[in-house]
């Protein structure tokens, strides 16, 4: 075939009508319901991310947002269903929740738009995760039962379905790229790298099977329904993307999958650091996580304020030890105070006793020597509870796994114990651990940390004596774990995305029959009614230096995202070749307030221009859906212009009324839709 549908007389078939639309999703827009939290709610709390709270209150205000979309001239409205609301307990389906979503479908139809329903938009019930989550062998059956209930209620009224939103990003809940500070999506884990990769491959297989099963269920109820998936697609130079995809198809078995996928989580060059670990009352903070990996917590202690006895407390000037997180506490608890750093706790206490400062903030273990200062006292009320964790150099997932296994009293994965990092430590003959043995050498916490170092040596060598304790100051903890090799990170990052299935177009490769069967079973090949995709960012062949930025943008670093509208046309051409004759639906495309010099309205114009170019070439682009109709809670990020994709702005943090305000990008989108509609109407019938 030549990639084009043709008529009986050899002419080209008419292109489908282009449907413009907007989108939203359950977790990002619906208010949090404590009666049926999804697993992402639980996970975001564990990760200390921004909770959704009321979000945009779409659950109650869906009619308002549907009317906004109708006013733009849209013909397609995408929303997603909260599985946790529909099935709050295993096997128990909530009739009221199903009726609510059925009413949303009806409201969209009344507004003369078509509903596009997403079944799984990065969220799932807690009870599903408790039973093994998306990688459980039974997951396709659980997803099928959920799909059956939804489709039975309003499947006949819904013409377009997405089973899994951006499935290729779901693997990053099981494999964490070595340059990422936090897990991108749940569930995250502390497994060794080999187990992480096994889980990722099982996830990929489960998603293909689950999608295929759900498609059959929907078709049984509505044979005319169109069912697909929208992978997240980057705009890479065509030659590089083709090379990555070709290498992915060379993955023939689990062994080659492991060998090639390891480099996503394991940096090519082992970290060169003076110590292997730091166990020194080290509290994970967002800033520290950018440079250091942390284990689970092994202890905690209250952070308290020290003042002079018998004197009224003034918060004008407060002290802390440089390198500690006490400065953050001062900024939060005493915003009017100025802060002064000291090299040691003793220096800070002396300054307080001499009235050079008005108070001193520190963790309790460092205040055990307060008796040496009879004119000072520790206030009982804790300001903050510091959680202590082991600091590990980044990009060493197996060493981190061994630490976490030791803390939990379990046996590390044998694959982790054979990793390059552990082999290097064994060749040296001892473990190097940084501890603060000077500030409070006789305290219980110091003894606990030294014992933990010995336990780790026992785990690695079978001998608790094979450890060397290096005395470190608080200020040294982060620098000692940051390798000079980090200067090569941009190069290593690019190297890491080449040659592995994880960073390829693996969903589309599977649909095209180009993946091994252990990832995509034969019966799942071609199980799609349209080619779906999400496209946001890209670089062209003249910008290889920006590839690192592009990778970061795909993992939610939107502020420095590179924009390449022609890259969308390149993607559309590729999928037109892979799936000749099938309609292509752009399920998401959109921009934050401003990226790479493009305002949101400029971004929309430039990308829709590429869509029209594609159609002029005969490529069957069926839909263009803008993300998103309003501002929303962008997956645990703090709300700001750098995380706001809304055509209509909502001040999520400061406006209790959650008022929708039209933006210039909404006006631009409406004008584009009107102009294209008029041009289409002017064409001869």
Say which DSSP state 542 is in.
Answer: T
Residue 554 banded pLDDT, cuts 50, 70, 90: confident
Pick the CATH number of 273-482 from 3.40.50.300, 3.40.190.10, 3.40.50.620, 3.60.15.10: 3.40.190.10
CA atoms within 13 Å, Cβ hemisphere of 595 = 30
| Cα three-residue angle 61-63-69, rounded to 5 degrees | 110
| 148-176 pLDDT, tens digit each | 999 999 999 999 999 999 999 999 999 98
Spatial distance between the Cα atoms of 163 and 225, rounded to a whole number of angstroms? 12
Query: Does the domain at residues 19-265+488-680 carry the CATH identifier 3.40.50.620?
Result: no
Smallest CA-to-CA distance from 361 within 393, 392, 339, 343 is with 339
Contacts of 646 (CB under 8 A, 6+ apart): 628, 629, 630, 631, 632, 663
Least confident of 15-19, 74-78, 394-398, 490-494: 490-494
The whole-number pLDDT of residue 57 equals 97
Cβ-contact 27, 38 below 8 angstroms: yes
Query: 416 pLDDT exceeds 60?
Result: yes
Q: Are 572 and 538 in contact (CB under 8 A)?
A: no
Lowest mean pLDDT among 5-14, 253-262, 300-309, 534-543: 5-14
Query: What is the distance between the alpha carbons of residues 56 and 30, in angstroms, rounded to a whole number?
Result: 6
Residue spans of the domains in the chain: they are 19-265+488-680, 273-482
Tokens for 174, please give them.
Answer: 């099981």
Task: Note the pTM of the prediction, 2 decimals.
Answer: 0.83
Least confident segment among 73-82, 414-423, 522-531 = 414-423
- Residue 628: is the preceding peptide bond cis (ω within 30°)? yes
DSSP E strands in 124-254: the ranges are: 160-165, 226-230, 232-235
Q: If pLDDT is split at 50, 70 and 90, which confidence band does 297 have?
A: very high
Give me the pLDDT at residue 555, please: 76
pLDDT for res 202: 97
pLDDT of 631 reads 97
> Which has more confidence, 442 or 42?
42
**What is the pLDDT confidence band of residue 1, given thresholds at 50, 70 and 90?**
very low
CA neighbours within 13 Å on the CB side: how many for 413?
A: 18
pLDDT at 552: 84
**Residues 266-277: tens digit of each pLDDT:** 766 666 889 999
pLDDT in tens, 65-81: 999 999 999 999 999 99
- Residues near 98 by beta carbon (within 8 Å), at least 6 away in sequence: 86, 149, 150, 153, 154
Does residue 136 have a pLDDT over 70? yes
Residue with tokens 């070595």: 178
Beta-sheet pairing, 160-165 with 114-120: parallel
Return the pLDDT at 7: 41
CA distances for 379 relative to 305, 335, 345, 566, angstroms: 6, 19, 16, 62
Question: Which residue matches tokens 């206030």?
Answer: 379
Question: Which tokens sit at 593?
Answer: 């307030």
pLDDT in tens, 43-58: 999 888 999 999 999 9
């Amino acid at each position: 075939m030549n990639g084009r549908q043709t008529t009986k007389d050899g002419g080209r078939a008419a292109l489908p009508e282009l449907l413009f639309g907007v989108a939203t999703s359950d977790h990002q827009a619906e208010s949090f319901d404590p009666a049926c939290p999804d697993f992402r709610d639980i996970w975001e709390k564990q990760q200390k991310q921004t909770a959704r709270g009321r979000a945009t209150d779409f659950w109650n205000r869906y009619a308002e947002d549907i009317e906004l979309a109708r006013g733009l001239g849209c013909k397609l409205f995408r929303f997603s269903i909260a599985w946790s609301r529909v099935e709050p307990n295993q096997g128990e389906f909530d009739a009221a929740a199903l009726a609510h979503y059925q009413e949303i479908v009806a409201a969209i139809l009344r507004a003369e738009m078509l509903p596009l329903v997403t079944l799984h938009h990065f969220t799932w019930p807690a009870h599903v995760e408790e039973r093994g989550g998306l990688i459980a062998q039974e997951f396709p059956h659980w997803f099928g039962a959920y799909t059956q209930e939804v489709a039975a209620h309003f499947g006949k009224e819904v013409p377009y379905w997405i089973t899994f939103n951006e499935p290729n990003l779901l693997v990053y809940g099981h494999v964490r790229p070595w340059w990422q500070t936090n897990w991108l999506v749940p569930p995250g884990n502390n497994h060794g790298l080999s187990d992480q990769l096994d889980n990722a491959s099982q996830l990929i297989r489960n998603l293909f099977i689950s999608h295929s099963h759900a498609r059959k269920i929907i078709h049984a109820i509505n044979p005319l329904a169109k069912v697909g998936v929208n992978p997240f697609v980057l705009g890479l130079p065509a030659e590089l993307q083709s090379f990555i995809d070709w290498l992915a198809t060379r993955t023939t078995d689990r062994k080659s999958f492991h060998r090639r996928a390891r480099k996503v989580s394991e940096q090519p060059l082992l970290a060169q650091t003076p110590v292997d670990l730091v166990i020194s009352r080290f509290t994970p903070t967002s800033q520290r996580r950018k440079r250091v990996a942390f284990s689970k917590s092994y202890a905690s202690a209250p952070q308290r304020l020290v003042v002079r006895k018998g004197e009224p407390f003034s918060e004008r000037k407060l002290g802390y030890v440089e390198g500690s997180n006490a400065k953050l506490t001062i900024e939060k608890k005493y915003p009017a105070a100025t802060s002064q750093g000291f090299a040691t706790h003793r220096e800070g206490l002396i300054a307080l006793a001499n009235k050079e400062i008005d108070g001193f903030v520190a963790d309790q273990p460092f205040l055990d020597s307060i008796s040496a200062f009879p004119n000072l006292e520790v206030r009982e009320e804790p300001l903050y509870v510091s959680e202590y964790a082991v600091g590990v150099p980044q990009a060493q997932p197996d060493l981190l796994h061994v630490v976490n296994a030791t803390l939990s009293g379990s046996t590390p994965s044998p694959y982790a114990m054979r990793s390059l990092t552990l082999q290097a430590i064994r060749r040296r003959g001892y473990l190097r651990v940084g501890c603060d043995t000077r500030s409070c050498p006789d305290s219980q916490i110091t003894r606990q940390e030294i014992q933990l170092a010995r336990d780790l040596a026992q785990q690695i060598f079978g001998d608790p004596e094979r450890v060397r304790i290096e005395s470190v100051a608080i200020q040294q903890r982060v620098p000692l774990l940051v390798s000079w090799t980090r200067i090569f990170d941009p190069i290593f990052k690019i190297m890491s995305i080449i040659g592995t299935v994880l960073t390829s177009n693996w969903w589309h490769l599977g649909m095209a029959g180009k993946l091994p069967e252990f990832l995509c079973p034969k019966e799942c090949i071609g199980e799609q009614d349209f080619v779906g995709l999400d496209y946001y960012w890209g670089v062209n062949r003249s910008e290889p230096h920006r590839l690192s930025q592009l990778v970061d943008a795909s993992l939610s670093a939107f502020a420095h995202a590179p924009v390449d509208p022609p890259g969308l046309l390149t993607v559309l051409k590729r999928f037109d070749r892979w799936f000749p004759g099938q309609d292509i639906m752009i399920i998401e495309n959109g921009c934050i307030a401003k990226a790479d010099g493009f305002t949101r309205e400029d971004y929309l114009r430039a990308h829709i221009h590429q869509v029209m170019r594609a159609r002029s070439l005969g490529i069957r682009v069926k839909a263009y859906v803008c993300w998103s109709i309003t501002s929303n809670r962008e997956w645990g990020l703090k709300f700001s212009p750098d995380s706001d994709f809304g055509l209509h702005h909502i001040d999520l943090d400061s406006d209790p009324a959650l008022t929708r305000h039209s933006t210039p990008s909404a006006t631009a989108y409406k004008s584009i839709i009107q102009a294209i509609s008029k041009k289409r109407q002017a064409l001869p019938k």
